[in-house]
């Protein structure tokens, strides 16, 4: 099975990020998932552009910035300057998503759209030809370590159908409660990118590494 691993540093040890990023380096086909939270859109606060900018000095891996903030467009330039490659904003926070997508493209950023577990695909289907990533949240945004919501699999399957029937190129990313088991079901349903927080950083690295290798051999 072919897929990208995007460890979410929200679950990493912030006192030794260099070591944590090293772990991501050891996984082929990986990128760094950065969760940005403002305490408004979600009931939690995380990191801002200056941390992302400092992390950029440690690695050439792609940076996948997941904005869970009000008025995400106000921060596109700052995250671009901090070294983002992908920027994903929530459809629930965007009254007019198309201009935002175009703004990201103009900055040279790959645009992504995220949907909460309760948001229907109807809200984003018309945007799929315009974006690089559709991120399906499989937990309520805000915290690492929650349980995978099974109904997300239906959305992933439907997205794969749309992608194949319309010959579109966007990647399907799944974020929340991903481990070796839920990851495997998500890939079988059609996911291209597995975001992994707790499972990646809170288990012994050798175990995680070998489970990812096993999945790739299947
Ligand atoms: C939640 C974040 C996720 C989270 C994933 O709002 O978007 O990226 O860190 O963590 P796990 O894999 O532990 O659910
Ligand atoms: Zn995320």
Is 209's pLDDT higher than 90? yes
With residue 207 as reference, give the H or E element that holds it: helix 205-217
177-191: pLDDT as tens digits: 999 999 999 999 999
* Known catalytic membership, residue 35: yes
Residue extents of the structural domains in the chain: 4-217
- Catalytic residue (choose from 35, 64, 132, 192): 35
Assess whether pLDDT exceeds 90 at residue 134: yes
Homologous superfamily (CATH) for 4-217: Aldolase class I (3.20.20.70)
Residue 140 has pLDDT above 90, yes or no: yes
Q: What is the mean pLDDT of the chain?
A: 97
pTM of this prediction exceeds 0.95: yes
d(CA 117, CA 181): 19
Q: 161 falls in which pLDDT band (50, 70, 90)? A: very high
- Residue 190 has φ and ψ, to the nearest 5°, of 135, 5
**What does 121-176 look like in DSSP terms, one character per residue?**
GGGTGGGGGG-SEEEEESS-TT-SSPPP-TTHHHHHHHHHHHHHHTT--PEEEEES
The answer to whether residue 95 scores a pLDDT higher than 90 is: no
Nearest ligand to the CA of 201 is: 1
- Nearest-atom number in ligand 1 for the CA of 148 is 14
Note the pLDDT tens digit of each residue in 28-79: 999 999 999 999 999 999 999 999 999 999 999 999 999 999 999 999 999 9
Number of helical (H) and strand (E) elements in the chain, helices listed first: 8, 8
The predicted structure's pLDDT at residue 60: 97
Give the ligand 1 atom nearest the CA of 140: 6
């Amino acid at each position: 099975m072919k897929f990208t691993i995007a460890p979410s540093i929200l679950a990493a040890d912030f006192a030794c990020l260099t070591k944590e990023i090293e772990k991501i380096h050891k996984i082929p086909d990986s990128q760094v998932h950065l969760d940005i939270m403002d305490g408004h859109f979600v009931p939690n606060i995380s990191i801002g552009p200056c941390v992302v900018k400092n992390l950029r000095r440690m690695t050439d891996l792609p940076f996948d910035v997941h904005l869970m903030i009000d008025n995400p467009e106000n921060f596109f330039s700052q995250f671009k300057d901090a070294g983002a490659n992908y920027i994903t904003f929530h459809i629930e926070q965007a009254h007019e998503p198309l201009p935002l997508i175009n703004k990201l493209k103009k900055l040279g950023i790959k645009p992504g759209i995220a949907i909460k577990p309760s948001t229907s695909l109807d809200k984003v289907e018309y945007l799929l030809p315009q974006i690089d990533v559709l991120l399906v949240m499989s937990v309520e945004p805000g915290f690492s370590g929650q349980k995978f919501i099974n109904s997300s699999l239906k959305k992933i399957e439907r997205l794969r159908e749309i992608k194949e029937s319309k010959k579109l190129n966007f990647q399907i990313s799944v974020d929340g409660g991903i481990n070796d088991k839920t990851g495997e079901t998500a890939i079988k349903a059609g996911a291209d990118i597995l975001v992994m927080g707790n499972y990646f950083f809170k288990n012994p690295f050798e175990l995680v590494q070998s489970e990812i290798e096993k999945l790739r051999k299947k």
